[in-house]
A and B are shown apart, each in its own frame.
Chain A
Amino acid sequence: MNCEHAKPLLPLWMDDSLADAEQAAVGDHVRACPTCQQEASTLRHALAQLQAMPLPVVHVEPWGVLDRAAQQHSRLARRWKRLTIAVSAVAVCLLCVLLVQPDVQVGDGAVVVRWRPAPEQPVPLPLATPDPEQTRKLELLTELVRSYAEASELRGQDRDKELETLRLRLEITQLQAERRWEDTQRDMGALYRAQFTRKENE
């Protein structure tokens, strides 16, 4: 072993932390090498100074620790309780939202919330392309209906004329009947007078 190999191992050699064979080899080298002896001395001195460094003496009160632990435990328990309440509230809100299923729409700088979804607009049915055969039939049917309506109207007009004629005849008949009745009355009156006047004369 030479200095190059021994020097990096000196802190561990001083610490007795090397494997047995390595520990012995470094020891043999150091005993024979004044440079490594000096290196080991400086390291040992530094280590001794670190070990001798004055440090604060602390006294921990076990009861104080237990008391702090208990306080922290209760703080944690309170925090968990609050967290549980908050989580439950959020869960209830989510449940309500799931049950109500509001309809939210965002647009034009406004947010619209509906309790129910917006009614769906009826979708206009696409216009079917007219079938020429059907169109022809439809036109024929329209023409038939129109002819029937015109015929019906003409029949109605004829019926109205007949009715008017009948009404006029009825009026004429009534007038004739009244006149006949008046004539009859007059004749009866004349007969009566003639009868009773003759009796009186007699």
Chain B
Amino acid sequence: MDAEAAMIRRWQAGDSTAFGAIVERWQQPIARFIARMLGPTGPTADLTQDVFMKAHQAIGRYRHEGTFSTWLFRIALNVVRDACRRHHRQPLPLPAEVVAGHEHAPEPWEQRERSAVLERVLAELPESLRVVLVLRLEGTAFEAMSRVLDIPASTLKSRYGVALRHVRDRLQELGYGLGEP
């Protein structure tokens, strides 16, 4: 954490190498967050770049008070919300054909189908529940999540339980529950 703080200070001082190191460290968590929030066919790469661009523009105002990940995920969440607002839509359930032709093939057919179902189930969740589940999947603590979303941690814990149970129930309905193929 100290190394990261030092890196951020160098970035604030205008060291682009430090910025590169921060991008290298955080690009996959941010991309995973965006992909889970908008679905894999969404503009994940472009929005990930947007997140780092906005972070770069705002780094001068960053104070080393909270954790850097909290600050960065807040920017990512704003970028996701802006993207949804721009397209006037919420992430939609994905048709199977789209996922079948997804660029991350080749995967076994069953795995692709399972992936499509998971994405659809996630997309069905309201944003308030999905964001909690997605941030928790990234390992974000509820207290940190509370700072990102400005919502009490107790509320977020409750939402996490509701979201996970909804996913479990929908997977069972779609035939992907425990003990099923």
Q: Which A residues are closer than 8 A to B by beta carbons? A: 8-12, 15, 17, 41-43, 45-47, 49-51, 53-60, 62-66, 68-69, 72-73
Partner of A12, one of B45, B160, B167: B160
Starting from the known contacts A46-B168, A47-B164, A56-B40, 5 additional A-B residue pairs (CB-CB under 8 Å) come to A11-B160, A11-B164, A60-B52, A65-B52, A72-B53
Chain B contact residues: helix, strand, loop or mixed: helix
**Nearest Cβ on chain B to A47's Cβ, whole angstroms:** 6
Q: Cβ of B172 < 8 Å from any Cβ of A? A: yes
Could you tell me which B residues sit within 8 Å of A by CB distance?
16, 19-20, 23-24, 27-28, 31-32, 35-36, 40, 44-45, 48-49, 52-53, 56-57, 103-104, 107, 111, 114-115, 118-119, 122, 133, 136-137, 142, 157, 160-161, 164-165, 167-168, 171-172, 176-178
Interface of A is mostly: helix
Give which listed residue, B19, B20, B35, contacts A56 with CB less than 8 A: B35
CA distance A72 to B53 in the complex (A): 10
What number of residue pairs across chains A and B have CB atoms under 8 A from each other?
104
In the complex, are the beta carbons of A41 and B178 less than 8 A apart?
yes
Contact status of A56 and B142, CB under 8 A, knowing A11-B161, A45-B178, A50-B167: no
CA distance A158 to B175 in the complex (A): 145
Residues of B within 8 A of A64 (CB): 49
Q: What are 23 residue pairs bridging A and B, where the CB atoms are less than 8 Å apart in the complex?
A: A12-B157, A12-B160, A12-B161, A42-B168, A42-B177, A45-B168, A45-B177, A51-B137, A53-B119, A54-B40, A54-B107, A55-B31, A55-B35, A56-B45, A58-B27, A58-B45, A60-B23, A62-B24, A63-B20, A65-B52, A66-B16, A69-B53, A69-B57
- Contact partners of B111 in chain A: CB under 8 A: 54
Q: Which residue of B lies closest to A41 (CB)?
A: B178
Tell me whether A69 and B118 are in contact (CB under 8 A). Answer: no
CA distance A59 to B46 in the complex (A): 10
